[in-house]
Structure 1
């Protein structure tokens, strides 16, 4: 018996038990009988099978023994060839190996079927009446990326094979080929597709897990930040309660500092540090004896030296806390003067941290407009004049200029809102606790004024 007849008998015998698995419009049995004689032409057989009976079974068993990762669900393969005899023969061989098969006689028909149905592999001839296999390959790459394509051709042109691989084909078969070659090519292509699908699923799951863990981390960070903010506010309250004459001072200077930083267009990160430093600027007074801290009369020179030590004491407390390390510089420098006559390091000009230069104006503003043991509160207009007189000596002229452009009404309103003189003492605390981080404090002023022009800089 000729090789072609053996191949035809192989296809006919293995096709009968599972006829329904091959989805095609023409009658497979009739077409195979009609083309039996054609397969013995001079061109030789398309499929060479030296052991047709049981070849499919032995190949499948060999594949299982090697641990094939092709899923148990039947993969669907589209066979595209304008020669019906070849199309039917390849389709029947694939069917007997357990694959679902669709048949297309042209590239255009294949495109319609790919648009309509789902396939795991395309097996296409190189030369067809409505265009070569490259046209279909390019279309699949553009419209179904990831769908493997195996090119089949009778032309033994190595350049054409290389070109097809460069254009995205996963393999290239030369006619005639035997069953084992076809089967191994199909198996490799499907395993490659499975690996791609697994990689995509892994990437998708990894991204999903990353989003979940990122959200969890964000919630944890926000919760930690709120804990930090609550701790800062509690410390500020404790300091104010210890010195009844300056009750509410920490909150007021914090609010003033934020407003002034906003006018200076300071970055959100710097505002965050400034707010922390302003709220805790007097934390070092915890180490100052009550006899000095609460003394109603003027301090002696010796007592003044002890009082001035609160800057260094406060710095030493905060600098070892990572999230307050930057703020500790403001605590250390908040009594420095622009002309270098301040303490404790006698810094001059831009060597003083910007936050400390801003805070110096805010601190003086609150000191002048609040009752103290040694003077009664003055108006915001008087405080403005006093601060302007200190420009270039006690204060940074740039900061004083920005301060002068904010109306006294704004400062008065901010004082009332920050300490509750208008009836809402907890407003500032609520604003702090509901912000995701300190960078949002730059919006604090805007949140507390009904007039959007209240903070406009002329």
Structure 2
């Protein structure tokens, strides 16, 4: 009994040789499929996978060389062996250079054939184990990268990086299913990357729609007809070979992962299909976890913003203050050339900068006169209180840092830790300027409302003392329309200040 049986496809246009090969290889313990031509062999390969192809070189119609080329295009893991006559040995050697593993000569020496087949079957086993090992390493590497982050955008980028690297392609895309049934492009490489992230793709307009609907992967080789619509937004109009795999998480489909190849010669294979399916399965779980985390973070953030607005409702002087600070800080960050992600963090930091005042008594917050030392110490606690409120969500740590440090002063005279200069996070230095400007131009129980020109002059005067000079310069260089917008927003009716004596506290909200 053969301890290493294989599924072998034998191809020869001579029925006697075909029958001899079938009988001998079955006696050796292998499972044998016989085909009398190249097209018949391709049909057999399409119906079920084979480990080894044993084909005559010279056959009418499709030659053995052409059959081997098409076979390896479909599945490079198939081990191909040529049967050749003495006069065609040079041709056999040429075909071996193109991918054939070995050859046997006619008239057939069955003992030599047995040795070649045994070596071929062993090579197939090693190739299969190599693919399995590669997939295990791939899964391990992807696990390390995507499990290290719960940020959805970061997870999507890591998945696409792994796909492009491991599947040796430059074209890849990741679509997530929206509630309305359409796809949204959430990440892309190569030709698919020419469409903006967020592009909406109709399922019926792309191959991905078919894969999602059926729940089955779709493999298109260069020799195959394209089985459905082509989406130019995904680069499908350029692909000669394509592979699309649905993303499943918790027994439901959440999107599609696709790759394409536009160069002649190589097609995606069943081995690639297995690798992409492994990537897709693991990626789908990571994506779903990140989406759930994003949803939790968004809900928590909404609750926190609700707290902040509830605080403003306690004090008519603060009405709209946080939103104006957030906008002014965001405009300033953009003026300084910060990327949009950092600008978003700064906006949210401005929106929640006074969050910790929830823990400060109304008596202290609304006191129209100078604070006692004890009362001022209570005020100084609000940055730490605000940071503590955001502590349950680690992803909000950059916002918590702003809340905790925006009362630090550039010259080191601020609180809670008397940081100075660039020891203070840039995000906090930006929010500090926006907060001071809005506080000065809005009025407080302890401070007369300044004109906008006077407030701008005060910022310039305090640059290098209370504020970062570069931030002040960027703030003061904002277009006039920004300040007009803020002036209109702060022009709502407010109770008059309780007194007009000089401000006993720093100009901050």
Tell me the TM-score normalized by structure 2.
0.54
User: Could you say which residue in structure 1 is the equivalent of 2:208?
Assistant: none
Question: What are the equivalent positions in structure 2 for 1:367-446 lying under 5 Å apart?
Answer: 367-413=439-485
Query: Relative to total residues, which structure has the larger strand share, 1 or 2?
Result: 2
Q: Of the candidates 72, 76, 80, which is equivalent to residue 149 of structure 1?
A: 80
Q: Is the 8 A contact 2:9 2:41 kept in 1?
A: no
Q: Of the candidates 275, 300, 322, which is equivalent to residue 228 of structure 1?
A: 300
Q: Is the 8 A contact 2:317 2:442 kept in 1?
A: no
User: Could you say which residue in structure 1 is the equivalent of 2:359?
Assistant: 287
Q: Of the candidates 144, 152, 177, which is equivalent to residue 109 of structure 2?
A: 177
* Aligned counterparts of 1:245 and 1:411: Cα–Cα separation in 2: 19
* Aligned counterparts of 1:277 and 1:79: Cα–Cα separation in 2: 75
Note closer, same or farther for the CA distance 1:188–1:145 as it changes in structure 2 (3 Å cut): closer
Question: What are the equivalent positions in structure 2 for 1:118-267 lying under 5 Å apart?
Answer: 122-125=53-56, 137=68, 141=72, 145-153=76-84, 168-174=99-105, 175-178=107-110, 181=113, 185=117, 192=124, 199=271, 202-267=274-339
User: Could you say which residue in structure 1 is the equivalent of 2:36?
Assistant: 103
Q: Is the 8 A contact 1:338 1:392 kept in 2?
A: yes
Q: Is the 8 A contact 2:410 2:468 kept in 1?
A: yes
Note closer, same or farther for the CA distance 1:209–1:357 as it changes in structure 2 (3 Å cut): same
* Aligned counterparts of 1:102 and 1:140: Cα–Cα separation in 2: 14
Q: Is the 8 A contact 2:35 2:41 kept in 1?
A: no
Tell me the TM-score normalized by structure 1.
0.60
Note closer, same or farther for the CA distance 1:183–1:416 as it changes in structure 2 (3 Å cut): farther
Q: Of the candidates 423, 427, 430, which is equivalent to residue 351 of structure 1?
A: 423
Matched residue SS, 1:151: strand
Matched residue SS, 1:92: helix
User: Could you say which residue in structure 1 is the equivalent of 2:434?
Assistant: 362
User: Unpaired runs of 5+ in structure 1?
Assistant: 1-61, 81-86, 105-109, 423-458
Deviation of 1:172 after TM superposition, in Å, equals 3.6
Q: Is the 8 A contact 2:346 2:399 kept in 1?
A: yes
* Aligned counterparts of 1:284 and 1:221: Cα–Cα separation in 2: 24
Range with greater deviation from structure 2 (221-230 or 393-402): 221-230
Range with greater deviation from structure 2 (360-369 or 199-208): 199-208
Note closer, same or farther for the CA distance 1:183–1:308 as it changes in structure 2 (3 Å cut): closer
* Aligned counterparts of 1:317 and 1:261: Cα–Cα separation in 2: 25
Note closer, same or farther for the CA distance 1:209–1:102 as it changes in structure 2 (3 Å cut): same
Matched residue SS, 2:81: strand
User: Could you say which residue in structure 1 is the equivalent of 2:18?
Assistant: 91
Note closer, same or farther for the CA distance 1:145–1:208 as it changes in structure 2 (3 Å cut): same
Deviation of 1:335 after TM superposition, in Å, equals 1.8
Flag the structure with larger Rg.
1
Note closer, same or farther for the CA distance 1:143–1:320 as it changes in structure 2 (3 Å cut): closer
- Cα deviation, 1:224-267, whole Å, max 9, x if unaligned, reads 23113213312211322333431232222122211211111223
Is structure 2 residue 394 aligned with structure 1 residue 322? yes
Higher relative contact order at CA 8 Å, sep ≥6: structure 1 or structure 2?
1
Is structure 2 residue 12 aligned with structure 1 residue 79? yes
Matched residue SS, 1:91: helix
Deviation of 1:358 after TM superposition, in Å, equals 0.4
Q: Is the 8 A contact 1:258 1:271 kept in 2?
A: yes
Q: Is the 8 A contact 1:150 1:173 kept in 2?
A: yes
Range with greater deviation from structure 2 (285-294 or 94-103): 94-103
* Aligned counterparts of 1:313 and 1:136: Cα–Cα separation in 2: 73
* Aligned counterparts of 1:169 and 1:264: Cα–Cα separation in 2: 61
Note closer, same or farther for the CA distance 1:130–1:312 as it changes in structure 2 (3 Å cut): closer
* Aligned counterparts of 1:179 and 1:261: Cα–Cα separation in 2: 79
Aligned length: 342
User: Unpaired runs of 5+ in structure 2?
Assistant: 132-268, 494-509
Deviation of 1:100 after TM superposition, in Å, equals 5.0
User: Could you say which residue in structure 1 is the equivalent of 2:150?
Assistant: none
Matched residue SS, 1:219: helix
Q: Is the 8 A contact 1:335 1:342 kept in 2?
A: yes
